[in-house]
Amino acid sequence: MTPQHIRLGLFGFGCVGKGLYEVLHQTTGIKADIKKICVKNRNKKRSLDASCFTFDKTDLLNDPEINVIVELIDDADQAFDIVSTALKMGKAVVSANKKMIAEHFEVLFSLQQQYQVPFLYEASVCGSIPIIRNLEEYYDNDLLSSVEGICNGTTNYILTKTALEGKSYAEAVKEAQELGFAESNPRLDVQGFDPKYKLTILLAHTFGIFVKPEQVLNYGIHHMNKHDSNFAREKGLRIKLIAHTSRSGDEVKAYVLPRFIRTDELLYNVNNEYNAALVQAQFSDRQFFVGKGAGSYPTASAVLSDISALQFHYRYEYKKTFQKNRMVFSNDFPLQVYVRFSNEKVLDELQVVNIKQAFGSKTYNYVIGQVNLDRLLAFNPNEREDVFIGII
Amino acid sequence: MTPQHIRLGLFGFGCVGKGLYEVLHQTTGIKADIKKICVKNRNKKRSLDASCFTFDKTDLLNDPEINVIVELIDDADQAFDIVSTALKMGKAVVSANKKMIAEHFEVLFSLQQQYQVPFLYEASVCGSIPIIRNLEEYYDNDLLSSVEGICNGTTNYILTKTALEGKSYAEAVKEAQELGFAESNPRLDVQGFDPKYKLTILLAHTFGIFVKPEQVLNYGIHHMNKHDSNFAREKGLRIKLIAHTSRSGDEVKAYVLPRFIRTDELLYNVNNEYNAALVQAQFSDRQFFVGKGAGSYPTASAVLSDISALQFHYRYEYKKTFQKNRMVFSNDFPLQVYVRFSNEKVLDELQVVNIKQAFGSKTYNYVIGQVNLDRLLAFNPNEREDVFIGII
């Protein structure tokens, strides 16, 4: 098959956009060039000639020569407007915007079917790891039993610093911000929203179902304290923020929660800004992928792999969504958790049962027991400062 | 794109062939069926009706309805005959036969170009890990700097048992044979021939060069003894059999050698029959893949992914081979190694330089120093019973 020549219209020239520009100019094997770049800020100094840029999105969307739109802007609402318009005009689209995709997933899915155009977004989940492409290889939803991973580089960096260098949570956050990993307001990362958006995308490619982000529990690491870190260290465990989905029969559960990882687990050595994905499938058994989850070049390389696939008219098949034996999403699943608390009433609220361990002192109390996922969702743990919960 | 309906002609109905048959019948998402299976032994009892089988290869090769040949037989020479004939007849081919591919790689490459037919072999390297497909995503040979991994499940199983359960090498080999991992003559595995064939295939998809297997050093684990295991344990290291290729400028080196792995390396926790691949690339940075490297279903799932790709006319592009800035293979590279020996003359023979550590006793002597790869190749370490060498 002769590769299609790609003429790109690029939205956004930040960290990833610049990375893509450089990557495209250093690789000679891909027949693609950027025709125009649409940016927002008229006063910013830029590394390229002014003629490369426009401030009018229609310059890109209405240009019949541009056959692929690459959307790499921050604003999820504007991104959706650009992406949906481009699809309606029959242009293929590549995006890395997990929030936008997670929030508008069903509409974006329908637009691809209606206008018969590809929409690729490998860079939106786990950066450089080709996880979506890999999941697309599994054609039947009952062939997969679980997908889980470390999908957020910022929190993994913070957790690595607290675990390996004995830093406090606050120190580690500050360091991550200074290095540019964490935003000045790191809420989306440390409360687990960012990995949840990614998990929502994985759900569609794993079990063929579209789930609204608000249906899925996301709980982060911002309430972790030194007692929790010490508990992990003493038991030879490491706390990691895990996005998880698995099925029992036709019922699918999903959540983002901290988990205590054992030393013999593959996830144990995934440190700093690295991401990982663990796929359990019927025939290929367990597959494990590790790669950089963020950063200019790793993300740009995932965008590049989508562009290169579009040369050969690749598109996601969403076969699992079209299958008859559809899966049902549910939060009615028990989880074994560690709960650190100051007020015992928390245990009643969470309806902790089957308590296997309990520890109490003046400054530190915890139990290990069983909690139902829907109970945890109702508890809204991100807003409970005196509690830390992790799967164990 | 509408998927092409695949009618398969299958050669071989052993472990992987049976696995493929079952996998194809349990997955509903792939439009493929097996029209006929060609087997060798007329007297073997088989689980399917006799009408499914033939003993005449031309029944498959001359059938115009069969558009894909899947070759899963043991004999490398017969396999080459089948595969090359099928390609010449314009049929797409899927194979898992690393020895056959490594020994006839340039011819098989030329046949694909000449007859414009796809030849896919994801199952030949690292079982269920989609490593070839992933390397094909990197279009330029200078984007990749190294690929290495654990490519042999049998030796990794043996090494895991000696390291984690304190078993002797002989006990571990016996256990692997009883479990069906190792052949009654495990030479191809424990002397590193099997991972070398895989490495030869990786070389073409990493740096675009075809290298004869005999140009590449393969040294296995069959001379490892309890001193070497103890040395590793005391230093907190684990011995793994590593297939490695990397480049310095335009020069490429490759070898299969035991390596002492540190506890913080991702390869450290890859145990038992699992395989792993570590890719270092300019833009995506470090990527790591783990999966089952052998077994009926894991291998069949890789064959299945090739068949599913053929539905959409996928083929390897070999872009790096077609590029002008060709890489050159060389064995003129220094390596830092641990050498355990009984006769000091070995050190002269190997021309060990820059010795950093030396230990001597009545029963156990070793040095850690630098050896050139071509020197090691000339030394022929697989035939030297009183020596063990590993990268450190």
B252-275 pLDDT, tens digit per residue, is 999 999 999 999 899 999 999 999
Give the A:B interface size as CB pairs under 8 Å.
Answer: 134
Q: Write down the mean pLDDT value for chain B.
A: 93
Residue A141 pLDDT grade (very low, low, confident, very high; cuts 50, 70, 90):
low
For residue A62 the two structure tokens come to: 């209405």
- Enumerate the residues of chain B whose CB falls inside 8 A of the CB of residue A143: 26-27
Residues B318, B358, single domain; the answer is no
User: Which of B284, B318, B326 to probe by mutation at the A interface, max A CB count within 10 Å?
Assistant: B284
Count CA within 13 A, CB hemisphere, residue B387. 21
Least confident of A24-33, A177-186, B59-68: A177-186
Question: Which helix (H) or strand (E) segment is B280 a member of?
Answer: strand B274-281
Query: How is the beta sheet containing B53-54 ordered, strand by strand?
Result: B53-54, B32-38, B6-11, B68-71, B92-95, B119-120
Q: Do B305 and A266 touch (CB under 8 A)?
A: no
C-alpha B319/C-alpha B137 separation (Å) is: 10
Which amino acid, residue A173? Answer: V
Residues B21, B113, single domain; the answer is yes
Q: Do B137 and A128 touch (CB under 8 A)?
A: no
Residue A1 pLDDT grade (very low, low, confident, very high; cuts 50, 70, 90):
low
Residues A30, A112, single domain; the answer is yes
Query: Which pLDDT belongs to residue B143?
Result: 85
A153 touches B at CB < 8 Å: no
Q: Is the pLDDT of residue A192 over 90?
A: yes
C-alpha A123/C-alpha B336 separation (Å) is: 38
Residues B310, B338, single domain; the answer is no
| pLDDT 10s digits, A271-284 | 999 999 999 998 88
C-alpha A150/C-alpha A239 separation (Å) is: 11
User: Which of B31, B126, B283, B289 to probe by mutation at the A interface, max A CB count within 10 Å?
Assistant: B283
The answer to whether residue A127 sits within a structural domain is: yes
C-alpha A170/C-alpha A186 separation (Å) is: 12
State the catalytic residues of A.
198
pLDDT, average across residues B141-155? 91
Residues A39, A73, single domain; the answer is yes
CA B344 → CA A99, B225, B349, B353, distances in Å?
65, 18, 9, 14
Residue B300 pLDDT grade (very low, low, confident, very high; cuts 50, 70, 90):
very high
Query: Which pLDDT belongs to residue B186?
Result: 87
Helices and strands counted in chain B (H then E): 15, 17
Residues B90, B127, single domain; the answer is yes
Q: Is the pLDDT of residue A304 over 80?
A: yes
CA A5 → CA A38, A308, B129, B136, distances in Å?
21, 10, 30, 18
pTM for the complete prediction? 0.91
User: Which of A283, A287, A299, A320 to probe by mutation at the B interface, max B CB count within 10 Å?
Assistant: A283
Q: What are phi and psi of B120, to 5 degrees?
A: -115, 145
CA distance B219 to chain A (A): 27
Of B274, B286, B323, nearest to A291 by CB-CB distance is B286
A283 touches B at CB < 8 Å: yes
Q: How many CB atoms lie within 10 A of CB A295?
A: 21
Query: Which pLDDT belongs to residue A64?
Result: 96
Residues A58, A111, single domain; the answer is yes
- Enumerate the residues of chain B whose CB falls inside 8 A of the CB of residue A283: 19, 23, 128, 297-298, 300-301, 304
* Rg (chain B; Cα; Å): 22
B266 touches A at CB < 8 Å: yes
Query: Which pLDDT belongs to residue A201?
Result: 98
A324 touches B at CB < 8 Å: no
Of B139, B285, B301, nearest to A128 by CB-CB distance is B285
Q: Is the pLDDT of residue B181 over 80?
A: no
Q: Is the pLDDT of residue B141 over 80?
A: no
The answer to whether residue B290 sits within a structural domain is: no
Least confident of A133-142, B4-13, B48-57: A133-142
Under DSSP, is residue A234 helix (H, G, I), strand (E, B) or coil?
helix
- Enumerate the residues of chain A whose CB falls inside 8 A of the CB of residue B291: 284-288
Q: Is the pLDDT of residue B295 over 90?
A: no
Question: What is the domain-level CATH number for residue B122?
Answer: 3.40.50.720
Count of structural domains, chain A: 2
Cβ partners under 8 Å of residue B239, min gap 6: B159, B162, B163, B221, B224, B228, B229, B232, B258, B259, B260, B261, B390
B283 touches A at CB < 8 Å: yes
For residue B18 the two structure tokens come to: 């049976």
The answer to whether residue A149 sits within a structural domain is: no
For residue B84 the two structure tokens come to: 């090359």
Query: Which pLDDT belongs to residue A81?
Result: 97
Q: Describe the crossing of helices B105-115 and B193-207 by its angle, rounded to 10 degrees.
A: 40
Residue B183 pLDDT grade (very low, low, confident, very high; cuts 50, 70, 90):
confident
Q: Is the pLDDT of residue B1 over 70?
A: no
Closest CA to B23 of B314, B298, B275: B298
Of B28, B264, B297, nearest to A140 by CB-CB distance is B28
The region, left, alpha or beta by phi > 0 then psi within -120 to 50, assigned to residue B176 is alpha
Query: Which pLDDT belongs to residue A116?
Result: 95
- Enumerate the residues of chain A whose CB falls inside 8 A of the CB of residue B19: 283
- B181 against B380, higher pLDDT: B380
For residue B215 the two structure tokens come to: 């140009």
DSSP sequence for B103-124: HTHHHHHHHHHHHT--EE-GGG
A15 touches B at CB < 8 Å: no
| pLDDT 10s digits, A335-356 | 999 999 999 999 999 999 999 9
The answer to whether residue B270 sits within a structural domain is: no
Query: Which pLDDT belongs to residue B184?
Result: 73
Of A264, A287, A300, nearest to B291 by CB-CB distance is A287
Query: Which pLDDT belongs to residue A209?
Result: 94
Q: Do A283 and B265 touch (CB under 8 A)?
A: no
Cβ partners under 8 Å of residue A105, min gap 6: A200, A201, A204, A210
Residues A10, A97, single domain; the answer is yes
- Contact criterion met (CB below 8 Å) for B250 and B328: yes
User: Which of B2, B287, B296, B299 to probe by mutation at the A interface, max A CB count within 10 Å?
Assistant: B287
The answer to whether residue A214 sits within a structural domain is: no
C-alpha B141/C-alpha B326 separation (Å) is: 8
Q: Do A27 and B264 touch (CB under 8 A)?
A: no
The answer to whether residue A268 sits within a structural domain is: no
CA distance A29 to chain B (A): 5
B261 touches A at CB < 8 Å: no
pLDDT, average across residues B342-368? 96
Question: What is the domain-level CATH number for residue B359?
Answer: 3.30.70.240
pLDDT, average across residues A210-228? 96
Residues B310, B335, single domain; the answer is no
The answer to whether residue B275 sits within a structural domain is: no
Q: Write down the mean pLDDT value for chain A.
A: 93
Q: How many CB atoms lie within 10 A of CB B185?
A: 9
C-alpha A226/C-alpha A209 separation (Å) is: 39
Residues B44, B66, single domain; the answer is yes
Query: Which pLDDT belongs to residue A289?
Result: 96
Q: Do B284 and A265 touch (CB under 8 A)?
A: no
State the catalytic residues of B.
198
Query: Which pLDDT belongs to residue B233?
Result: 94
Of B128, B284, B312, nearest to A128 by CB-CB distance is B284
- Contact criterion met (CB below 8 Å) for A367 and A347: yes
A325 touches B at CB < 8 Å: no
Nearest-Cα residue of chain A relative to residue B275? A287
Residues A335, A308, single domain; the answer is no
B165 touches A at CB < 8 Å: no
pLDDT, average across residues A22-39? 89
Q: Do B292 and A284 touch (CB under 8 A)?
A: yes
Which amino acid, residue B368? Answer: I
Q: Is the pLDDT of residue B201 over 80?
A: yes
- Contact criterion met (CB below 8 Å) for B169 and B221: yes
Nearest-Cα residue of chain A relative to residue B307? A137
User: Which of A165, A284, A317 to probe by mutation at the B interface, max B CB count within 10 Å?
Assistant: A284
Find the length of chain B. Answer: 392
| pLDDT 10s digits, A279-302 | 999 888 899 999 998 788 889 999
B58 lies in which domain range? Answer: 6-132+296-322
Residues A308, A372, single domain; the answer is no
- Enumerate the residues of chain A whose CB falls inside 8 A of the CB of residue B30: 139
pLDDT, average across residues B220-229? 95
pLDDT, average across residues A62-81? 96
Q: Is the pLDDT of residue B312 over 90?
A: no
- B137 against B356, higher pLDDT: B356
Query: Which pLDDT belongs to residue A136?
Result: 87
Q: Do A297 and B283 touch (CB under 8 A)?
A: yes
Question: Which helix (H) or strand (E) segment is A321 a member of?
Answer: helix A319-322
Q: Is the pLDDT of residue A306 over 70?
A: yes
Of B19, B270, B308, nearest to A137 by CB-CB distance is B308
CA B30 → CA A131, A171, B7, B184, B312, distances in Å?
20, 52, 11, 37, 11
The answer to whether residue B221 sits within a structural domain is: no
ipTM, 2 decimals? 0.88
| pLDDT 10s digits, A248-264 | 999 999 999 999 999 98
